[in-house]
Amino acid sequence: MLKSNKRKYRKIASFLILIVIFVLSACSKPTGTSNVSTNPPTSSTAAVPAKEQVLKYVTLNMPRSLDPVHIDAQRITSDGIAEPLVYQNDDGSIRPWLAKSWKNIEPTLWEVELQPNVKFWSGAVMDAAAVKAALERHQKLNKRGPSQLGGVQFLVKDATHLQIQTPKPDPSFIFKLAAFAIHNAAQADLIGDKFNKEPDLTGFMKPIQFTPGELLIAEAFPGYWGDKPKLQRLESRLGTDGQARLLALKNGDADGDMNVEVDQRVSYEKDSKFQTYFPVGSTSNLWLNIKKVPSLQDPKVRQAINLAVNRKELIDGVNRGFASKATGHFPAGLPYAIETSSDMDKAKSVQLLDEAGWKAGSDGIRAKEGQKLQYKLLTYSVFQPLAVALQSQLKEVGISIELNVVETTASNQMMLDGNFELATYCSCGSATGDIGGQLNSYYHTGIASNYGGYTNPEVDKLLDVLVSEFDGKKQAELAKQIQTKVQQDVPIVYLYNSTRWGAAYNKKVQGVDDNLKTRITPAMYIAQ
């Protein structure tokens, strides 16, 4: 499995290191038809009638709002309800969407050409002024806005051209736009909180029924600007338990599972009625809240936690072999990843805790000055087996762990608020064309998604250089330097690389895009 994963990453490595060059001169490509993994319907894969083009799926990541500025609305861009200017593909590259093309005029000036004749569901025109208003609303209200769009100015050149002035050179800026869906900001300002359930967007699927966090039903929007969707209806329901999602597919109550877990993956892949789709793997990790928890401010304690983790047990047991050992932030084998990894060393872990003054008590749990070495571990259903394993492993060196299991979408806000001590949370390193942007998001002082409050002035300086560097080779070298320093500081415990966030469909679901495997696209359809 390890060799297989390395071969997979090497195959895409030469492509990814050239992404920044491609970004500077992107070309338009029809939406919804590229990289589709199946051919158009033939006599053997004929589509069912339009009225039967209904895709039902279960997921543990249901939106709580349909307003794209909310963190709990992130799934709606995967359902074809909301649309960004560009989509990031599974391999880390980007493709045009509401943006037709873009170019870098000067180091700090970009120009985006918009798709013509796009309208919001209300009939309002999505022109450069509307896009400007949407992105400025993200700057103001989206908690990820300051870190991604801070200091950026948007200038309307004409109806279909928007110029973007960045505060400093940012060779990968276009990648950041994938995180911000375009919406009718004027309508949002007009109706206020009602926009959470009654948004005005551009997607090919328009909601007709929405229960926050539980149910979303949408139908094909007849006035959609792009390729007309083959699916006519989408029904999405919350499914927090992996086995329950598997049974829903096996019983025919659902067509897709958008959060395939390891045990269920084995079952899906053994059953000829199903097809699984897994993007390039990402790094799963254990977050440490350095800012909030005094004991974690001691590097010896952080290093002890890192050395107490038995990654082989996590890979072979929790992940059933569908994983490989992590190195740094990015999966090993990518041109900007490091190769060194952490190995379990319980004796060293115990030594470091002793040196830090944490002594084992009669119950085996360490204490210092009357305070026990214990933490609450924030987790959610898909990561609960991992959390239980970590709880057991850390107890072996005298660290007590109490599990705090919450709903998936609830964890998003808790992480942003810093309301955790330890956390198994999937803000995971993955293949990307925005190397600097991804590292900056998690390790630069003061960034909202630097959830644990990690700070290192030397890392900050390297990140400031990286995010303005246009040369691909220099980017890779800087990324390696940053990851090496972060790895030594242990603000995050890197665990393993896996392809946990895959999708499974019954084989009647056709037209899945092989570079947007977990997204609903216009080309998808139900075959007979």
Q: What is the pLDDT of residues 142-183, one digit of tens each?
A: 988 888 899 999 999 999 999 999 999 988 899 999 999 999
Confidence (pLDDT) at 10:
41
**CA atoms of 101 and 113, how far apart (whole Å):** 5
Q: How far is CA 461 from the centre of its chain?
A: 26
Which helix or strand (DSSP H or E) is residue 18 part of? none
**CA atoms of 170 and 24, how far apart (whole Å):** 11
| Confidence at 3, pLDDT banded by 50, 70, 90 | very low
pLDDT digits (tens, 9 = 90+) for 60-70: 889 999 999 99
| Confidence at 90, pLDDT banded by 50, 70, 90 | confident
Q: Which two tokens stand for residue 116?
A: 């013509």
Judge whether 376 and 402 are in contact, CB under 8 Å: yes
Q: Which of 324, 318, 281, 197 is nearest to 501 (CA)?
A: 281
Alpha-carbon distance values, 9 to 65, 330, 343, 442, 498 (Å): 36, 11, 22, 22, 12
Query: Is pLDDT of 14 > 60?
Result: no
Average pLDDT over residues 212-221: 96
pLDDT digits (tens, 9 = 90+) for 247-270: 999 999 999 999 888 778 889 999
Q: Residue 488 in 3-state DSSP?
A: helix
Confidence (pLDDT) at 495:
92
Question: What angle in degrees, to the nearest 10, is found between the helix axes of 472-489 and 457-466?
Answer: 160
* Whole-number average pLDDT of the chain: 89
Q: Residue 136 in 3-state DSSP?
A: helix
Domain spanning 55-279+502-526 has what CATH number?
3.40.190.10
Average pLDDT over residues 407-419: 87
User: How many C-beta atoms surround the C-beta of residue 362 within 10 A?
Assistant: 5
Q: Which residue has the higher pLDDT, 250 or 26?
A: 250
Does domain 282-498 fall under CATH 3.10.105.10? My reply is yes
Q: Is 27 exposed, middle or buried (0-12, 13-18, 19+ CB in 10 A)?
A: exposed
Confidence (pLDDT) at 334:
84
Query: Is pLDDT of 117 > 90?
Result: yes
Query: Is pLDDT of 19 > 50?
Result: no
Q: Which residue has the higher pLDDT, 281 or 350?
A: 350
- Largest pairwise CA distance in the chain: 75
User: How many C-beta atoms surround the C-beta of residue 10 within 10 A?
Assistant: 12
Q: Is the pTM for the entire model greater than 0.75?
A: no
pLDDT digits (tens, 9 = 90+) for 433-447: 889 989 999 999 999
Q: Where do the domains of the chain lie?
A: 55-279+502-526, 282-498
One-letter amino acid of 284:
S
DSSP string covering 284-341: EEEEE-TTT-GGGGSHHHHHHHHHH--HHHIIIIITTT-EEE--SSSPTTSTT-----
**CA atoms of 155 and 304, how far apart (whole Å):** 51
Alpha-carbon distance values, 357 to 295, 360, 364 (Å): 11, 10, 15
Q: How many CA atoms lie within 13 A of 153 on its CB side?
A: 8
Q: Residue 213 in 3-state DSSP?
A: coil
Q: Which residue has the higher pLDDT, 342 or 345?
A: 345
| Confidence at 479, pLDDT banded by 50, 70, 90 | very high
CA 210-55-379 angle, 5° bins: 60
Portion of the chain with pLDDT greater than 70, in percent: 91
**CA atoms of 187 and 122, how far apart (whole Å):** 9
| Confidence at 279, pLDDT banded by 50, 70, 90 | confident
**CA atoms of 451 and 291, how far apart (whole Å):** 9
Domains 55-279+502-526 and 282-498 share a fold: no
